[in-house]
Structure 1
Amino acid sequence: MNFRLISSVTRLHVSSLLPRNFMTNSSPLFFKTTECMFAEPLKKKKRLDPAIIKHREERKRKKLEKQIRRLERNARQLKPIDELEVPLKLIDQKEQRTRVLPPLSDSELEERVLLEKEWCRYKLSQRLKDLQIIDRLLFSQQKALSELRRESEELYQAAIQIDPSLIPFKAKGPVRTPPIKGYDSPDGEYVDVSKKWE
């Protein structure tokens, strides 16, 4: 009887001291503890004066309004590009420089349309011929490789290897416009001298 009373009292006493990390058991040890739980009390929030909060919000709002006004004021201003500015001399000479071309006749317009259609047909047939040649070459290549594979696997594996001498490939062919004699192409260092607008 006394043992029960003592055990209940000690349980109450211990549980009131450490309720989170203490427990009893019927094993020979009787008491077991869990790891300590280190917790901090919550920090108290500083109470600010409502007038200070209102003043801060008012300042933020005014700053945003000022930025919006500045953007609206500069919205229609485009950045000037020196290369695209037309000199005033050319603007004054506009009437002298404009050409007055006679209107094209119906027969001339029809001839131009027919010529353009004929050119389109010619380019289409040229493209189709090129595709047929490429298809024929690929088919003959595949046929030759399959025949070679039937003869010897080693020769086939050697044939499908990439030739390192073909890697720096350079080709010069016909271009749409002929080259200009004595033209110095603008390669080399590039110095950016454009103005920065921020």
Structure 2
Amino acid sequence: MNSLIRKMSMVITESLMSQRTICTNIRFPTFLQVSSPLLAEPMKKKKKMDPQIIKAREERKRKRIEKSIKKLEKNTKQLKPIEEIDWPISLQKQKLLRERTETISQPQQGQDILKAWRSYKYQQSLQETKMIDRISSSQLQALEQLRAISEDLYIKAIQMDDLLLPFTAAGPSSTPPIIGYDVLDGEYIDETPKWK
């Protein structure tokens, strides 16, 4: 039995040794595992390049930039094309075929009609107001002359005539309530407090 325990402890210690553990307490060991080291390698050295090659590359970059600047300076007066305004070449060729010979100005024609209609309605309303003013002034003159002749006839002339505009209305007739008829209010429980 003891030999078995010794063998087991040997196996446990060997496995613990492979994990690189640190024990802080003998009775209850707490294992702190350390991660495996990452295999890093030193940074690569920059390759030394020929200074003439570097100079040639920089010269090419400079020439490219100068060329683009010259191109931009040449096209300063030229406006940038807008895709919505440009129209296809096929339609440009058909321009003469599609051109209208008659000029139709519908909005202007509609505005002219509207102006004429407004002036007509204005003149019509002016004539109506003039006619109403003429009738009302002649009516007042007639009433004043009637008053000078007879006061009783003037008072009768001022009164409203009910027969001038006959008006009849037929509506529901009011009926007396039925005797003994109990109106249904719905079911409810009377909970009013009663004092004795």
Identify the structure with bigger relative contact order (alpha carbons < 8 Å, sequence gap 6+): 1
TM-score (norm 1): 0.31
Larger Rg: 2
